[in-house]
Amino acid sequence: MGQALDRDDIDIYLREVGLRDGLQNISTFFPTEAKKEWIAAEAAAGVTDIEVCSFVPPKLIPQFQDALDVVATAKKISGLNICALIPNLKGAERGIEAGVDQLNYVTSVSETHNLKNVRRTPQESVENFKEIVDFRDQRAEETGKKVTLLAGCATAFGCTLEGDINPKAVISIAKQFVAAGADEISLADTVGFANPGQIKSLCRQVMDELDIPITIHLHDTRGMGVVNAYAAYDAGIRRFDGCLGGLGGCPWAPGATGNVVMEDMAFMFEGMGLRTGIDIEKLCAVRDIVTRELPDESLSGGIAKAGMPVNFAQATPLAAAAE
């Protein structure tokens, strides 16, 4: 498990994925120093888990050409769980050499989507994942540091190409990932099709079948991001991906919202008395870094625009969040 996981002072883990899922479709290069500033500022606001980059070939996505440099600096922050997306074994090798705490490997449950994205069937992706597990285990024996593996089930709640996705297919892929050695599973509403009823139902089914932690990865494309996070919480989920300012809109749907807004989720959970470890006002202030570097992106989010309610009491003691 990564350093930040399973802390007894935290009820809800909010994982920042903006530096990866938020930036991956943005062609403007986000300067390396600004990425480091963003990571440091979020960690200082109390965020426990950050996906800082993707170990894809720089030729494919130049945005992540500075992955090694970014990870090296992030590693200096004590207590932060540093995650990176990896598309394949080569990415896993690079990620582990870089020294991340967690690798995130994603497969689409939709065969059509997976074939289009990575030219493999979901089954072939699971086979590929097994090689990654073997490599991870071998490096753990050699170095004594066991990197955790998060295996993501994309399009778990629907697919733009296939439409409905059978929950049985999601459960099948998730179980294969667990059997192969995944430490954690994520369920992703990749295209923003899900409604809270569906989220609650599928999360419960998957939780009934697996006994490892499950993360939910939501997009706010159709305005359902926060409500789907709540429904997942209601089903028992305690780990959530989010994105500062809801970055990550679809490049071919101008104006469409992206990932679920990190700071709005923090506001919701803290208001409900659940400790995220995060100082919401400090988190909102981090938006300034993103706005400065990406002046043409319009950030989403209610709490940052409207400000905190008077008399609002965070569940996380703010002195603790400021540590």
Residue 267, phi then psi, degrees to nearest 5: -60, -45
Of 144 and 295, nearer to a second copy (C-beta) is 295
Of 91 and 158, nearer to a second copy (C-beta) is 158
272 near a second copy (CB under 8 A) = yes
227 near a second copy (CB under 8 A) = yes
Residues 6+ apart with CB under 8 A from 201: 167, 235
Positive/negative CA dihedral, 250, 251, 252, 254: positive
Among 53, 243, 250, 284, which one carries the catalytic annotation?
Answer: 250
d(CA 114, CA 217): 17
257 near a second copy (CB under 8 A) = yes
Size of the site for a second copy (CB under 8 A): 44
Q: Which two tokens stand for residue 257?
A: 């919202």
Q: Which two tokens stand for residue 236?
A: 């028992």
Q: What separation in angstroms does the CA of 234 have from each of 48, 185, 196, 200, 276?
A: 22, 18, 10, 7, 16
55 near a second copy (CB under 8 A) = no
Beta strands in the chain (DSSP E): 13-16, 49-54, 81-86, 102-108, 148-154, 184-188, 214-217, 239-242
271 near a second copy (CB under 8 A) = yes
Does the annotation count 284 as an active-site position?
no
197 near a second copy (CB under 8 A) = yes
Site string for a second copy, 66-105 (x = CB under 8 A): ----------------------------------------
Q: Which amino acid is at 249?
A: G
CB of 308 to a second copy, least distance (A): 8
Q: Cite the active site residues.
A: 250
Residue ranges that bind a second copy, judged by CB under 8 A: 158, 160, 163-164, 191-193, 195-198, 220-224, 226-227, 229-231, 234, 250, 253, 255-257, 261, 264, 267-268, 271-273, 301-303, 305-307, 309-312
